[in-house]
Structure 1
């Protein structure tokens, strides 16, 4: 049985970088061998939960600007899976969650940048799902819970985002982490590992520096979605911790 993961997808530059973090991604790909991957991506927003039914090879979306030409020549032509997408859709239907289909959606950088390191052969079917950042946290967890059990079918559910994501607070050349950002991540880790769902559903009120860490929730809610999708039986654990540029969190979790 596969767990659910929360993965920090990082900057688009991570696609061409070699670092302890990209080495971690490669090792994680060697640990988990799914037959398909389902990703909630912070870079696909929709008011209704939308599922990619694209068959593939999936187009690579360059949803960024001002980066080296090398990045725009990269592709990650993973196959899609309308069959897995239909299974996801049915699970949402059974949970009373309305959905829409997108038959042409490719992989945005919230998906292909880290998948390129985890599964470089691009041979595992990928189904992406949109996020709605303005829904209450408890509702995000409930949306994720509709997919609980996919791991028993060797389908890897990944929430792709970043816990602390505030470009106004980034210290571009700073190597050490800001204490407030560390405190926020520590609170998240504590409550995820204890499976304190009530606390996580109220993180905006209870977590230290929540408004500073999460000024807009699109990068944070994939964690709640992945948490909701987990089996609830295994003890969650930290896979990777660290910060770039003072405040940009690289926290990754297995749940």
Structure 2
């Protein structure tokens, strides 16, 4: 039985470095050997929940600019899985969640940057599912809930985003975190560990500094997808990693 994970994909340059965080990613990949991965990436937004039916090798999408040339030479040609995509589509439809298909979608940097560290051989099929940051938080959780049970079939569900993500408050070169970012994450960690879904779906009203930490929800909602997809009876949610870069950029990761 695999858990679901919320993983911080970091900046694109994460693919080029070795740090405590990339070592954590490598160790996490060694802990779990899924037969397939379902990925909710903050960097694929659609108005209707869209599922990638691409067969692969999946295109490596360089959805960023102004970075070192070496980044654009990296490829992550993981296979897709139309069969798994069709299963996911059926689960969403059963839950009354409208879906669309994308036959060409590859892996954006919210996916391949950290998968490169977790599963460097790129031999595990990946099915991407889009996010819609404008849906109510309760609906975000329900999207994850619709595919609950995939872990029992050795399928790893990953929500890729970050808890604190506001470029207006980044402090380049600063390694110690700003207190407000820590206080927001403290609140999130507490509610996650308690699996307090009722409070979490109201984080934008209840959590300290919520509007500063999450000015736009696309990087936060994958947490709901991952949490919703996990079995509450299987294990207790826990923090896998916690750290900060640039003063406010959170690397908090969770296992559900």
Scaled by the length of structure 2, the TM-score of the pair is 0.99
How many pairs align? 255
2:247 and 2:106 map into 1 onto residues whose CA distance is 32
Instruction: Name the residue aligned to 2:57.
Output: 57
Structure 2: distance between partners of 1:174 and 1:27 = 26
- 1:174 is displaced (CA, Å) by 1.0
Rounded to whole Å, the distance in 2 between the matches of 1:193 and 1:253 is 9
Stretches of 4+ moved more than 4 A in 1?
Answer: none
TM superposition shift of 1:215 = 0.1
Q: CA deviation at 1:175?
A: 1.3
1:248 corresponds to? 249
Structure-2 separation of matches of 1:183 and 1:159: 22
Q: Which residue of 1 aligns with 2:160?
A: 160
Residues in 2 aligned to 1:17 and 1:185: alpha-carbon distance in whole angstroms: 25
Indicate the residue corresponding to 2:236 in structure 1: 235
Determine the C-alpha separation between the residues in 2 that align with 1:207 and 1:231: 25
CA drift at 1:94: 0.5
Could you give the per-residue CA deviations for residues 97-125 of structure 1, whole angstroms, max 9, x where no partner exists?
A: 00000000000000000000000000000
Aligned Cα RMSD in Å? 0.5
1 CA distance for matches of 2:195 and 2:60? 35
What is the CA deviation profile of residues 180-203 of structure 1, one whole-angstrom value per residue up to 9, with x for unaligned ones?
Answer: 100111111110110111001111
Q: Does residue 123 in structure 1 map to residue 134 in structure 2?
A: no
SS in 1 for 2:39: strand
Residue 35 of structure 1: CA displacement?
0.2
Unaligned runs of 5+ in 1: none
Specify the alignment match of 2:224 in structure 1.
224
* Distance of 2:172 and 2:222 partners within structure 1: 25
Q: Which residue of 2 aligns with 1:198?
A: 198
Answer yes or no: is 1:135 the counterpart of 2:121.
no
Where in structure 2 are the equivalents of 1:75-154 lying within 5 Å?
Answer: 75-154=75-154
| Counterpart-to-counterpart distance in 2, 1:167 and 1:35 | 36
